[in-house]
Chain A
């Protein structure tokens, strides 16, 4: 059975939900500790949401230098699937595994709501169970979710089809081109601000639209 690791940093919040989502998709989840320098043989890694290291300095800036991130960065560069959700997305940008950065929401308030997204790319390791153009509803909750990058980087992301998700209807945080999530050139690393792990059950979320992330990756790992 495929195993997917979820890293817990001091201040991570959604590591438990990420593990639940992985199990719901039919994989085995493994808890990874920020201070470990070992991925314990997992086949993929999720960097969960929260406020790693209190978001001190910049969101994700300290977590990027956690011992386990050396292994995560190496493995991601070698093709291992890595998903960064919210704070995990911020960590991936700080790690330069993904381009750009996340800054404070343009309206300056923390926003928590069920957000509709449009799937733009279903050829990544984490999105093959979706259709291009599909509309999905996933909770969004952050204070610093504004995606920014220089014009050249944005043009490259758009040109290479590396925008994976776009916010539908409204831009909730001032992200350039309504970008909600992006991928690296290889398609194994995906980062997004909304939380698919909170949308895996009708009982606890807006539906089950988030489960596809975790079922998609299993196809790559088989």
Chain B
């Protein structure tokens, strides 16, 4: 089995209230030096093999279900 990783992130121009909440918590915890936080999602898909057809299928899954292209970008990669 091979693991394929799909990372989904809010588009840069879309407000990310969850990332903002995390950012806001950092100084309270004494962590400095972080100027921005964006929060996304990571999906791990187990597949038989990472051939081109499978990766094309996973890309289709990512754009159909795992992400909403209106507000999110995604990347597909094979777990090393």
Residues of A whose CB lies within 8 Å of any CB of B are 57-58, 61, 65, 93-94, 99-101, 103-108, 146, 148-150, 174
Q: Which residues of B6-48 are within 8 A (CB) of A?
A: 10, 13-15, 17-18, 20-21
CB distance from B10 to the nearest CB of A (A): 8
Cα-based distance from A149 to B21 in the complex (angstroms):
22
Residues on B with C-beta less than 8 A from A150 are: 13, 70
Query: When the two chains form the complex, which single residue of A57, A103, A105, A107 contacts B71, counting CB atoms closer than 8 Å?
Result: A103
Residues of B whose CB lies within 8 Å of any CB of A are 10, 13-15, 17-18, 20-21, 65-66, 68, 70-71
Residues on B with C-beta less than 8 A from A94 are: 68
Cα-based distance from A93 to B71 in the complex (angstroms):
11
CB distance from A140 to the nearest CB of B (A): 17
Cα-based distance from A104 to B16 in the complex (angstroms):
8
Cα-based distance from A162 to B18 in the complex (angstroms):
30
Of B13, B14, B17, B21, chain A has the most CB atoms within 10 Å of the CB of: B17
Please state if A148 and B65 are interface contacts (CB–CB under 8 Å).
no
Residues on B with C-beta less than 8 A from A65 are: 65
Cα-based distance from A148 to B17 in the complex (angstroms):
13
Please state if A104 and B68 are interface contacts (CB–CB under 8 Å).
no
Q: Which residue of B lies closest to A109 (CB)?
A: B17
Residues on B with C-beta less than 8 A from A107 are: 17
Q: Which residue of A lies closest to B43 (CB)?
A: A57
